[in-house]
Amino acid sequence: MAPLVFSRTLLLLPLLFPLTAFAIEDVPRKDQIALMAEVKKVDRVGVARKTKEVDARPASPGEIVITYIKGQGVETRSKPAEEGDWVVRNRCEETGNEEILVKARHFSERYGEPLSATDAAGYRAFKPKGNNMSYFIVTDEIGPFNFRAPWDEMMVALPGDAIVQVQTDESDTYRVAAAAFQCTYEIVDPAKFVIDASLR
């Protein structure tokens, strides 16, 4: 049986918008890629890049990484890891140091060479390359909503969360919890708030 890796994240507004209060089927389904395109049309998208150091280790083939949001529950779960994939752990105590699975083809694009020796748990420090990502912040007018993430699992986006998109691959569009975004990303060009009934 594949090992389960639990990770944690804390949102800025957990009392107002607890993830556990929103079952996936209880919120409207939206296409996050189409929504990003609509927000781009009205010139409300910003640019951010992940800059905070992370810890990462090679994933075991078949391993399933469960990203656990502290105070909310499970954010998402990965597909079984393949050879060359990595488990990446954010360094954010306020978010619970949540972990995600990063595919081998993306890891080298997003992270540089290791900055430290391997620790007892197999992790090494890495610095994100800081590639620019398009983003917008989910407002009350837009969210909450559910969508299918690029790794083919359902996610729920809540007001305050960021929807981010790899600028060279629009299909790579997903949610970053509000506190995780604030902790790990640097704003290059701030997003403007979206107040548009057509985006509801």
Which pLDDT belongs to residue 7?
36
Question: Is pLDDT of 12 > 80?
Answer: no
Please say if the pLDDT value at position 13 is more than 50.
no
**4-8, 21-25, 106-110, 145-149: least confidently modelled range:** 4-8
What was the pLDDT predicted at 68? 82
> For residues 181 and 138, what is the distance between their CA atoms, to the nearest angstrom?
12
- Strands of the sheet containing 162-166, edge to edge, are 169-176, 162-166, 132-137, 46-50, 185-189
To the question of pTM greater than 0.75 for the whole model, the response is yes
Q: Which two tokens stand for residue 122?
A: 């197999």
Structure confidence by residue, pLDDT tens digits, 43-94: 999 999 999 999 999 999 999 999 887 777 778 889 999 999 999 999 988 8
Report whether pLDDT(19) > 50.
Answer: no
User: What is the predicted pLDDT for the residue at 14?
Assistant: 38
Q: How far apart are CA 178 and CA 137, in angstroms?
A: 9
Selected residue with higher pLDDT from 93 and 200: 93
Confidence of residue 1 (pLDDT cuts 50, 70, 90): very low
Tell me what pLDDT residue 20 has.
43
What pLDDT was estimated at residue 58? 98
| Overall size of the chain counted in residues | 200
**23: Cβ–Cβ under 8 A, 6 or more apart, which residues?**
none
Cα separation, 146 vs 148, in Å, equals: 7
Mean pLDDT (the chain, rounded)? 85
- Region 118-143: mean pLDDT is 94
Residue 160 CA to residue 157 CA, distance in Å, equals 9
